[in-house]
Amino acid sequence: MKRDLIDITDLSVEEIDELIAKAEDIIEHPEEYREKCKYKKLATLFYEPSTRTRLSFESAMYELGGQVLGFSEAQSSSAAKGESVADTARTVSCFADIIAMRHPKEGAPLVASMKATVPVINAGDGGHHHPTQTLTDLLTIKREKGRLDNLVIGCCGDLKFGRTVHSLIGAMSRYENVRFVLISPEELRVPESVRSDLLEKQKINFVETTSLEEAMPQLDILYMTRVQRERFFNEDDYVRLKDSYILTPDKLRTAKWDLSILHPLPRVNEISTAIDDDPRACYFRQVLCGKFIRMALMLKLLEVE
């Protein structure tokens, strides 16, 4: 029976730990995986722009010895002619062994998974879920901290539309003694669904604040996000909020010496480039982790031993 990955909760904690262990083995022994997916094909169906996620999936499959086909924007697919996601998924299933889909509409990858005859990976759907970014984040945290429990995690910026934050909260809330500090303008607080269904329902320790400076000294992880222009209906609201939080060296003065700074990227201006050479800046190491965890995930969903 085929497995899909639409939401990070589709994976148990044990499965996530297994994927992280597999990714770390790939990092240590890359030569052992170079032909694991020989003759396998990945289809990347990206209905909205992406650099890191799409290239990470493609690079992952190439490093496993497989091949890649697909499209990088809706206008270069039959979607421009009005073809439905369901029909595209059924069609592409005839050509590929596994599908990675990004779509601006929430739920589109789920619809695709219901019609596709091969595994479907949600590579981001609107402001909803982005499970492979979450796996990337978890692998990064594990490699930087050596653990996924007993952490104080600060999420800063756009917590309303930030699908990466929603997925990260969902995943990390299943590990012991994890506390969240949610830092955002009032207008960009986490949605009520995340607050009630994830945090409050599971009795997760969290606080909400508008001050990054006040939160900084207690954080083990600082997860920065950009204010996403593409999620706003009102340009004036975007302009007013886009520079709400900009991380500079001065704001790190009170941070822990072993703070880990993550960002799903792309960065606009929310992290000063002056921080890039700080050993606490993990976001480019995080990009590399994305390739390895996606290799591990595809091996699992393709049932490649």
* Long-range CB pairs of 70-76, under 8 A, 24+ apart, other chains included: 70/42, 70/43, 70/44, 70/45, 70/46, 70/96, 70/100, 71/44, 71/45, 71/46, 72/44, 72/46, 73/46, 73/47, 73/48, 73/49, 74/47, 74/48
Structure tokens, 135: 């796996």
**Residue showing tokens 């990470």:** 56
Q: For residue 303, what are its two tokens?
A: 């049932």
**Is 201 considered catalytic here?**
no
Is residue 166 part of the annotated active site? The answer reads no
Q: Could you give the angle at which helices 131-145 and 283-301 cross, rounded to 10 degrees?
A: 120
Catalytic, 130? Answer yes
Query: To which residue do tokens 């289809």 refer?
Result: 43
Distance CA 128, CA 133 (A): 12
Q: Residues 52, 115, 267, 300: which is the catalytic one?
A: 52
Structure token digits, residue 289: 């982790």
Tell me the two tokens of residue 217.
């000294």
Q: 53 an active-site residue?
A: yes
Catalytic residue (one of 53, 132, 164, 225): 53
| Catalytic-labelled residue, pool 22, 36, 40, 102 | 102
- 203 catalytic? Reply is no
* Catalytic-role residue among 22, 130, 142, 166: 130
Residues involved in catalysis: 52-53, 81, 102, 130
